[in-house]
Amino acid sequence: MSTVVLESKSEPLISIIVPVFNVKNYLVKCLHSIINQSYSNIEVLAIDDGSTDGSAEICDQFSELDQRVITLHQTNKGVSAARNLGVQESSGSFIMFVDSDDWVSQDIVQTLLHTLRIENADIVACESYHVRGNKKDIPNESGKVFSLDRFEALDLLIKDRVFRSRLWGRLYKVDVWKNVFFPEGETYEDVSTLYKTYLNANHFSFLERPLYYYNQREGSIVHPDDYKGLFSLLNARRSRYKILSKTYPELNENLKASVIAAGIDILKKSASGNIYLEAAEMNEVRQVFTIYKSSKTLKNLSPSYRLSFFLYRINGRLFHFLSPKIDGIIVKLRNRVN
């Protein structure tokens, strides 16, 4: 059985929050990767969200084997409620999130804490491997560290670059989570929440070294088969726009572009499934395009999204037919230019 190291100035306690729901095929690997960290002074809050497949029992077994693992059981309320409980019950000076179907490198805690201290950051993030079955992509492994202020970090977050709306692969000072809560009963809760921690922080760092393994498995909640799930993303980005546009009007065009992109994602997702939106849904997307569109906003869209938007405005049915091929068209055009 492991022994918890008392918090001291040199060895602060790190709280690692793991929401768990019916992931028994992945959970053991996930929890093993956490308890075998090179940095030992951690507490692992495994929040069982009403699992029925044996995941709850696995959490209990780990708690019996390692006193640093604290299992909390709740009736099924969703991942947001599980994370809220984890933050509420955490005791550390720093917080980290790990999804229960992912795993982490043995030195992720030690490395991120070291980087955070050296850079005097409030939030530090690392690169990640995206795993699909037996394959994984190879991200930037330069080991370089980039420091940003709040505005720069928010700008990259909205553009969905580097500091993307991902809770995992980061170490946070606990203070940045003060009065920040996940919206319960919603998907894309990271989009609704993460930027609020940025507003509580001043200094950010990004480490170009992959330390987190993101398992892109079939059936994961962030890969809905139904386009309807993307309306939650649309709502999250609209809410983010309302708050940030007041505080940082310089980000308005990028904020509006992110809302339009969510609308385009809905159209693309429905087209890929050869499904047409219902009348009310179509009206909502059209309204979004009307409200948030401007020439400056459209310039902030990526070439793929810009082409999708203009194609849709020309002919909706033609867009529906060509949408699955647009990304390939962009690649061919780039190759010709190069």
Is 115 a residue whose pLDDT tops 90?
A: yes
Higher pLDDT pick, 185 / 38: 38
**320 close to 276: Cβ distance less than 8 angstroms:** yes
Instruction: Give 216-230 pLDDT, tens digit per residue.
Output: 876 555 444 478 989
> What is d(CA 324, CA 272) in angstroms, rounded to the nearest whole number?
6
**191 close to 233: Cβ distance less than 8 angstroms:** yes
Hey, is 184 helix, strand or coil?
coil
The three-state DSSP-derived secondary structure of 253-303 is HHHHHHHHHHHHHHHHHHHHCCCCCCHHHHHHHHHHHHHHCCHHHHHCCCH
Residue with tokens 């946070």: 172
What share of the chain has pLDDT > 90, as a percent? 77
Hey, is 316 helix, strand or coil?
helix
Hey, is 137 helix, strand or coil?
coil
| pLDDT at residue number 331 | 63
pTM here? 0.90
> What is d(CA 71, CA 54) in angstroms, rounded to the nearest whole number?
14
Q: Which two tokens stand for residue 331?
A: 């690649």
Q: Which two tokens stand for residue 11?
A: 């060895």
Tell me the average pLDDT across 44-73. Answer: 98
Q: How many helices (H) and strands (E) does the chain have?
A: 13, 10
Type of residue at 94:
F
Q: What is the DSSP letter of 240?
A: H
| pLDDT at residue number 301 | 93
Tell me the average pLDDT across 98-117. Answer: 98
**297 close to 260: Cβ distance less than 8 angstroms:** yes
Is 23 a residue whose pLDDT tops 90?
A: yes
> What is d(CA 132, CA 265) in angstroms, rounded to the nearest whole number?
22
CA 103 to chain centre: 15
Q: What is the DSSP letter of 230?
A: H
Is 210 a residue whose pLDDT tops 70?
A: yes
pLDDT class of 1 with cuts at 50, 70, 90? very low
Type of residue at 270:
S
Residues present in the chain in total:
338
Instruction: Give 131-161 pLDDT, tens digit per residue.
Output: 988 888 888 889 999 999 999 999 999 998 7
Angle between helix 189-199 and 150-159 (nearest 10):
170
Lowest mean pLDDT among 17-21, 116-120, 266-270: 266-270
Instruction: Give 278-323 pLDDT, tens digit per residue.
Output: 999 999 999 999 999 999 999 999 888 998 999 999 998 888 888 8
**261 close to 298: Cβ distance less than 8 angstroms:** no
> What is d(CA 213, CA 210) in angstroms, rounded to the nearest whole number?
8
Outline where 66-127 has alpha helix (H).
Answer: 79-89, 108-119
> What is d(CA 125, CA 224) in angstroms, rounded to the nearest whole number?
26
Q: Which phi and psi angles does 15 have, rounded to 5°?
A: -95, 120
| pLDDT at residue number 325 | 77
| pLDDT at residue number 224 | 42
Residue with tokens 């948030």: 292
Type of residue at 273:
G
> What is d(CA 111, CA 109) in angstroms, rounded to the nearest whole number?
6
Higher pLDDT pick, 326 / 196: 196
Q: Which phi and psi angles does 148 have, rounded to 5°?
A: -135, 155
Residue with tokens 């969905």: 160
Strand 69-74 to 42-49 pairing: parallel
- Residue among 16, 90, 19 nearest 49 (CA): 19
Is 87 a residue whose pLDDT tops 80?
A: yes
Is 10 a residue whose pLDDT tops 80?
A: no
Lowest mean pLDDT among 181-195, 196-210, 211-225, 263-277: 211-225
Q: What is the DSSP letter of 202?
A: S
| pLDDT at residue number 220 | 52
Tell me the average pLDDT across 243-271. Answer: 95
Type of residue at 267:
L
